[in-house]
Amino acid sequence: MLVVALVAGVLLSLLKTWYDGRFRESPVVRGAAVDEDRVDASDLGVELGERATLLQFSSAFCAPCRATRRVLADVESMVDGVRHVELDAESNLDLVRRLDILRTPTVLVLDSSGAVVTRASGQPHKPAVIAALGTALAS
pLDDT tens figures, 126-135: 999 999 998 8
Q: Please write the tens of the pLDDT for every residue from 42-88.
A: 999 999 999 999 999 999 999 999 999 999 999 999 999 999 999 99
Pairing mode, if any, of strands 106-111 and 52-58?
Answer: antiparallel
Quickly list DSSP for 29-59: HHHS-GGGSB--HHHHSSPPPSSEEEEEEE-
Please check whether residue 15 lies inside any domain of the structure.
no
- Number of structural domains the chain divides into: 1
Please check whether residue 8 lies inside any domain of the structure.
no
Domain that holds residue 107: 21-138
Q: Any idea what the CATH number is for the domain that residue 35 is in?
A: 3.40.30.10
Please check whether residue 3 lies inside any domain of the structure.
no
Please check whether residue 9 lies inside any domain of the structure.
no
Torsion over CA: 116, 118, 124, 130 (sign) = negative
Please check whether residue 125 lies inside any domain of the structure.
yes
What's the pTM? 0.80
Please check whether residue 5 lies inside any domain of the structure.
no
pLDDT for 41: 92
